[in-house]
Amino acid sequence: MSQALTTLSEDEQMFKEAILSFADSEIRPLVEEMDESEQLNKELLPKLFEMGIMGVELPENHGGTGGSFFMSILAVEALATVDPAISVLVDVQNTLVNNVFMNFANKEVQDKYMPMLASNKVGCYCLTEPNSGSDAFALETQAKEDGDDYVLNGSKIFITNAMEAEIFVVFANINPELGYKGITGFVCDKSMPGLSIGKKEKKLGIRASSTCEVIFKDVRVPKKNIVGELGKGYKIAIETLNEGRIGIGAQMVGLAQGALDGAIKYASERSQFGKPIGKFQGIQFQIAEMATKLEAARLMVYNAARLKDAGKPFVKEAAMCKLFSSEAAEEIASLSLEIYGGYGFIKEFPAEKFYRDAKIGKLYEGTSNMQKSTIYKILEKR
C-alpha cells in the first residue's frame, strides 16, 4: 500500500484558510444568483485571478503563484465547500489546461500563453465529442496540414469553461487512419476565425459553470501552436486526465464538507420534541458516518496529490480517490438533505444545491466504471 502523505504544512494550512475565507466572503453571497441565472458573476473572475488561484502551479516568472500541485488541490477543495461550480472552473484551469502548457508546450507557446493564464485569461480543455466519451480517443475532429498551419474541423461537447475561455487546448486527429496514434494537441485562441461557441447546456447542478459545445470550422492553427509531438496527443490527454481526477476528487471532498457543515449547524438549531435534533442518536450516528467517509475521501485525495508531487506512481490512487470521493459526496449530500427534513428540499437552504451538484462527480473526467476499470488493470499487472 502507498504511504499516506497527508499532513498540511503551515504554509499549506494558511493557503487553504485564505481560500476558505475568500470563498465565504466573495463567493457565498453570489451562489444563489449564479445558480438561478446559470452563469458566472462577471465581477468574480478578476478576483479569482487576483487571489492567484487560476495559476497555482504556473512559475512566478510567468506571473503564476509558483506553488505545488497539492496547493492547487487545496484551492479546489476549499472553493467547493461554498460553490462546486466555481471550484470546477479553477480545477480545469489548473489541473488540465495549465498542466498541458507547463509539461508539453514549447517555450514560445509557454511564454505567450502562460502569463495570460496566470493573470486574466480562462482556458478550456477540448477533448470530448458526441461519439467520444468514455472511449476518449474515438475522435472525429480532424486537423489537416496546410503550409505553415493545420486546419481544424469538427466539434466538441460538454466543454467546461467554454463560455468564459479565450484559450483552448484542442485534441484533433491529423491522420484518422492511424487511429489514436494520429491524435495531436493544439492551442487555439478564441479570436481565430471559424472557432465558435455552440449550445450551452442546461444542467442539473454546477450551473454557474459553463458547459458548451465548441465548433471548429476551417480554423487555421499555426504549427508552432502544436503541444507535444505530432501523434502523441493521446499521451498528453491520458497524463493530464490522471491529474484531473485528483482535482475532481478534491472538488467532491469540498462539496461533502460544505454539506456536512450545513447538516451539523442545522441539527444544532432545529428543535423537535423539546430539544435540538442533534441530540437524537439517530442524527448523531448519521453525522458520524458522514464525517468518517469524508475523512477517508480527503485522505485518499491528499495522498494521491502528494504522490504526484513526489514523482511517484499515482494513477491507481488518482482513480481510487475520484471513485471513492464522488460516491461519498453523493451519499453525504443526500444524508445532509434528509437531516434538514422538508427544508432540505427547498432552495432557501444549501442542502438541495449540494445534492444536485454532487451527481456530476461520478460522470466527468471518467465515469465511476472507468475508474474501476483503471484500478483493476493496474492491479492485474502485479
Query: Where in the sequence numbering do the catalytic residues fall?
Result: 365
Strand partners, 188: 168
- Cα 54 from Cα 94, distance rounded (Å): 6
Give the Cα separation of 219 and 224 in Å (integer): 15
Contact predicate 348/274, CB 8 Å: no
96, 152, 214 from 194: Cα distances, Å: 24, 9, 10
Q: How many CB atoms lie within 10 A of CB 342?
A: 6
In the 3-class helix/strand/coil scheme, how is the chain assigned residue by residue?
Answer: CCCCCCCCCHHHHHHHHHHHHHHHHHHHHHHHHHHHHCCCCCCHHHHHHHCCCCCCCCCHHHCCCCCCHHHHHHHHHHHHCCCHHHHHHHHHHHHHHHHHHHHHCCHHHHHHHHHHHHHCCEEEEECCECCECCCCCCCCCEEEEECCEEEEEEEEEEEECCCCEEEEEEEEECCHHHHHHHEEEEEEECCCCCEEEEEECCCCCCCCCCEEEEEEEEEEEEHHHEECCCCCHHHHHHHHHHHHHHHHHHHHHHHHHHHHHHHHHHHHHCEECCEEHHHCHHHHHHHHHHHHHHHHHHHHHHHHHHHHHCCCCCHHHHHHHHHHHHHHHHHHHHHHHHHCHHHHHCCCCCHHHHHHHHHHHHCCCCCHHHHHHHHHHHHHCC
The b/e string for 49-77 (b: 16+ C-beta within 10 A; e otherwise) is bebbbbbbbbeeebbbbbbbbbbbbbbbb
Which triple of cell numbers denotes residue 368? 465511476
